[in-house]
Amino acid sequence: MFDFISFIPRAIMQGIPLLFGSTGETLTEKSGNLNLGIPGVMYVGGILFGIWGMMVFNIISNCLGCSILILVARYHWKRFDVMCVESNRTERSKA
């Protein structure tokens, strides 16, 4: 269902970059230069940055996940190693 209350803040948030671009274009046109490609450049830049951001986020999250996995594995391996040493000591003391 369409939620009009949450639509307004999102529309304002997503419209602010276009507002900045159109304000800059208006000032540029007043100085005598005409550039009609501003909205297209902004849209393409946003799309490419979104794609690039997803790729970088995936790389960083994968590296972070692997790092956490390695740290957890090292912690458990040290605990396992200590348990093995202690069990060897108790076996030697029984003999």
- pLDDT tens figures, 42-86: 788 888 888 888 888 888 888 888 788 778 877 777 666 655 655
CB atoms within 10 A of CB 49: 10
Q: Span 23-34, mean pLDDT?
A: 84
- The reported pLDDT for the residue numbered 32 is 83
User: Is 93's pLDDT higher than 70?
Assistant: no
Torsion of CA 40, 43, 49, 50, to 10 degrees: -150
Rounded CA-CA distance 15/5 in Å is: 16
Share of residues in the chain with pLDDT > 90 (%)? 0
What global pTM score does this model have? 0.43
Of the candidates 70, 66, 68, the residue with the CA atom closest to the CA atom of residue 78 = 70
Tokens standing for 15? 């419209």
